[in-house]
Chain A
Amino acid sequence: MSSTNTNDNPLRQGIRLEKTAEPCVVVIFGASGDLTKRKLVPALYRLVQQRLLPAEFGIIGVARSAMSDDDFRNKMKDALITFSEAKSVDETVWQSFAQGIYYVSGDINDSKAYQQLKERLEQIDTERGTAGNRVFYLSTAPSLYSEAIQQLGAADLAKPKPGAWVRTIIEKPFGHDLESAKELNKEVAKVFEEEQVYRIDHYLGKETVQNLLVFRFANGIFEPIWNRRYIDNVQITNAEALGVEGRGGYYDTSGVMRDMIQNHVFQVLSLVAMEPPINLSANAVRDEKIKAMYAVHPVPIAQLDEVAVRGQYGEGSIAGKEVPGYRQESGVNPKSNTETFAALKLYFDNWRWAGVPFYIRSGKRLPKRVTEIAIQFKQAPLQLFSNIPDQQFEPNVLIVRIQPDEGITLRIGAKIPGQTTRIRWVNMDFRYGASFGVSSPEAYERLLLDCILGDSTLYARRDMTERGWEIVQPILDAWASRTGDLPGYAAGTWGPKAADEMIERDGREWRRP
């Protein structure tokens, strides 16, 4: 860690001044791509305007095309104007920011480019006081990660100078299956220490992770009932109304298990299932998350269809519009068997959760966009009100909504005002967004700032990436070896019938979000 501790600057004391990040240079590989101009540079610009980044800050874009610093700066300015809400930027303010932007051209596998990069970095350290701290952001095609990392190691850029730090951010997807994920981790480990590696899983905004942790562990009343004695089942739904939106070529090689379930959904699952951490440091939290995931009962391949369902959307309508089926999307093989929907039933082999089924489903072209965790509690042991005609009894459900409309709902039974003791089941809602009307900061702002501050809570650790693959790999292998078409569902419905059958066989049903 660096030698400066801004915490002992007496002028920083108080509840209103935020911690400023340390001086550093962010090097973006693949800087000619979309991500750089749409998300990365605008996020860094906004962080600077919010005074969260110091004056001693620089950005170096690295890509193949030949360009001068000024050319790159102008491109970034145009992008900022196009993609910002205001559609304009103050000239003097921009100039001041642009002074810290540089460009190095070169091929990812050309060691000369890395030497040039090294010289540039030294130059910026001297001119702008960036103190030797570096973030290497890999925004290239995933197939180039390995090469870039090796080259960084060979050019001696991965080892921090005394008193400085070096970190690398690796974009998703992290590997394509268990083998490739392990391989990539090995390559990375040859060059970087684990504490230097930040693997992105930006689906979970910091708000969500912290909301769940606060909800579970800052309140005394939920932990005692957060286990098999009181909970009947847990359902995690991650639904999108969107289709593949022109990225059919990429998605066809991936599918929902690789794209969403083994990383994002498992992150959510681990937050729900974990034991309380000993403190809120990134590693303490991640330790508990991985411990829970190690307890996931291996998926019984012999009875695969009882616990895992896949599907692919056909044509249908969403929000009043007709949409084509998956196989008709551009870039998709018309005979493709890639799954756009999957549902799983998982168990945890530990004292807290033994016997409690976790039903997970994720898919595209479902009726609406929603991500939620529904915890269904066991019903009251004795039904005192059963002599009331036509009375329905429902279990209490605690729903944590991750998006849209972050919030919490508790479903309880209340007496209908009047002479009888009839019960109606009502929702008590608390919406973070509505109550606090504050828009959450953009995901990339949060992510970049966290990496510069050295907070890896939002990032995936090596063991978690491999464990996610370990759980789903047997399922993917089994499905890949099948011939014939996978089940279909009309766009705008909640998935194939087989998904309903899976949960109804257990005497339960999917919650309608």
Chain B
Amino acid sequence: MSATTTINVGAIEKELTSLWKQASEDEAGGVARASILNLIVFVPDPADSNAVDDIVIDVTTSHPCRVISLVADRAAESKLTAEVTSRCTLPTPNSKQVCCEQVTITASEDHLDEAPSAIVPLLIADLPVYLWWRAEPKAEDKEVYKWLSAIADRVVIDSAKFNDPEGDLATIARGLGAAGRGPALSDMNWARLTAWRALLAGFYDVPEYRPLLKQIERVTIEYAPPTDNPAAISTRGLLLGGWLASRLGWKLNPAATTRGEQSARFEFTAEGRTMQIEFQHTERAIEPGHLALVTITNAGDSDTASAFSVRRSADGTRIETGVTLDEEKRPKRVLSYEGLSESALLARELELLGPDRVYEEAVKAAGEMIASRQ
């Protein structure tokens, strides 16, 4: 027997309503339906569904929303089905239950392109639409992406998961250049860099060191290469490099790019000076894709040099900052450091509405660096 191929959207809404009725009958105090946004999730493989459901449950406790999950079941034939679930949590012991709804649409390859048309009517009026594209940018999903990103206010991706880090990051960069007024783009990998960026920026907050911003000679970024693609530079590293270059107005000199198996060097000019960003494999045992150490070397007046460094401990629980002035080391500072879970990262992205210009420029600068390697 062939599976049902049409989804009756009317049926989905009715199903949701009866779920609500059920919940309020069960619950003496009545239930509160809270929604502050619409979240569309694209799941490229049914095997990921459970993980996604867990993350969604976590996130909806702090960001109650209607979740519409589109699962691509490429192995199946001629399939387009919908399932409706409601999830209730009790935020505090005395309060009413807060319930959120999830609609899961599973589509086979041949029906994937039509699936978005079933999603559009399910969106709650007025509330912002977030699209969590939990997959890499693939040519076969282009139609679906185009349709869904057109109705989204913000698209959330995770460049740490790209199998072809450099190629995919370059695709994103090109997309940003062309988009114009498309949805805002959010990258969870960028959110992971917040601590690094805050600490690096922090060096130059000190009045004594501020002038050194214009005297940076070299930035060395040590990273652990991605497992699937050891020749590639980690996306996190590229984003950090792109961030520095774009914030400080550095122009890339593509002809001067050099490439080794475990390192790469990019040259920039700004205000008549040249500076370099170097990427290197780290020798320490750190998870793939993560940054190990970032060092910024500044030229000083009269041959004095200074260096600022931010270093992550091997087990990832501490982050150290160091300042060396004229070969004299100032006391290091050690701070506790916590990696953020996927739910925590997603929750953060759901708090943002406007475009993240700093990120977009960092990606474009990273894209330029990648393009110059070819």
Contact = CB atoms under 8 A, between A and B. Distances in A.
Interface of A: 3-4, 6, 9-18, 20, 23, 48-49, 51, 54-56, 90, 92-93, 95-96, 99, 129, 131, 404-405, 429-431, 433-438
B331 A99 contact: yes
A126 to B, nearest CB: 12
A54 B206 contact: yes
B207 interface: yes
Contacts of B372: none
Interface in B62-84: 62-64
Contacts of A6: 205
B208 A129 contact: yes
B318 interface: yes
A55 B232 CA distance: 34
Given A434-B34, A435-B64, A11 B201 contact: yes
B135 interface: no
A437 B61 CA distance: 6
A13 B205 contact: no
Interface stretch (B88-96, B126-134, B142-150, B158-166): B88-96
Nearest to B191: A16
Contacts of B210: 4, 9
Given A55-B321, A435-B34, A11 B197 contact: yes
Contacts of B352: 15
Interface stretch (B48-56, B286-294, B333-341): B333-341
Given A10-B247, A129-B206, A51 B318 contact: no
A404 B93 CA distance: 12
A10 B357 CA distance: 13
Interface string B17-46: 000000000000000101010000000000
B120 interface: no
B201 A55 contact: no
5 contacts: A16-B197, A49-B336, A51-B198, A51-B202, A131-B207
Contacts of B200: 11
A93 B335 contact: yes
Contacts of A20: 198, 202, 205
Interface of B: 32, 34, 36, 61-64, 91-92, 94-96, 98, 191, 194-195, 197-202, 204-208, 210, 213, 244, 247-248, 317-318, 321, 331-336, 352, 354, 356-359
Contact of B202 (A13, A54, A404): A54
Nearest to A95: B334
B247 A13 contact: yes
Contacts of A90: 317-318, 336
B278 to A, nearest CB: 19
Nearest to B246: A10
A17 B197 CA distance: 8
Nearest to A55: B333
Given A20-B202, A20-B205, A15 B354 contact: yes
A15 B352 CA distance: 9
A49 B336 CA distance: 6
Q: From DSSP, what is the main secondary structure of chain A's interface residues?
A: loop
B356 A4 contact: no
B89 to A, nearest CB: 9
Contacts of A435: 34, 36, 62-64, 98
B201 A12 contact: yes
A14 B356 contact: yes
A54 B204 CA distance: 11
Task: Report the 3 A-B pairs with minimum CB-CB distance, sorted nearest first.
Answer: A437-B62, A14-B358, A11-B201
B322 to A, nearest CB: 10
B64 to A, nearest CB: 6
Nearest to A12: B201
B55 to A, nearest CB: 14
B247 A436 contact: no
Interface centre among A12, A16, A131 (most CB of B within 10 A): A16
A434 B334 CA distance: 35
A433 B92 CA distance: 9
Contact of B91 (A4, A11, A431): A431
A92 B321 CA distance: 13
Nearest to A428: B32
Interface centre among B63, B195, B204, B358 (most CB of A within 10 A): B358
Contact of B335 (A16, A17, A56, A96): A96
A309 B68 CA distance: 56
Given A92-B318, A405-B92, 5 more contacts: A51-B195, A54-B205, A99-B331, A435-B98, A437-B62
A433 B93 CA distance: 12
Contact of B201 (A17, A49, A436): A17
B195 A437 contact: no
A12 B205 CA distance: 9
Nearest to A46: B336
A3 B208 CA distance: 11
B356 to A, nearest CB: 6
A434 B62 CA distance: 7
Contacts of B335: 48-49, 51, 93, 96
Contacts of B318: 90, 92-93
A18 B179 CA distance: 29
A6 B103 CA distance: 46
Contact of B194 (A16, A99, A430, A431): A16
A99 B36 CA distance: 45
Given A3-B207, A11-B247, A438 B62 contact: yes
B91 A437 contact: yes
B310 to A, nearest CB: 11
A430 to B, nearest CB: 8
A364 B95 CA distance: 23
B199 A51 contact: yes
Nearest to B97: A434
Contacts of B91: 431, 433-434, 437
A56 B206 contact: yes
B44 to A, nearest CB: 28
A9 B207 CA distance: 10
A434 B95 contact: yes
Contacts of B356: 14-16
Contacts of A4: 205-207, 210
A14 B361 CA distance: 11
A95 to B, nearest CB: 7
Contacts of A17: 194, 197-198, 201
B16 to A, nearest CB: 19
Contacts of A436: 62-63
A182 to B, nearest CB: 40
A227 B358 CA distance: 44
Interface centre among B92, B195, B244, B334 (most CB of A within 10 A): B334
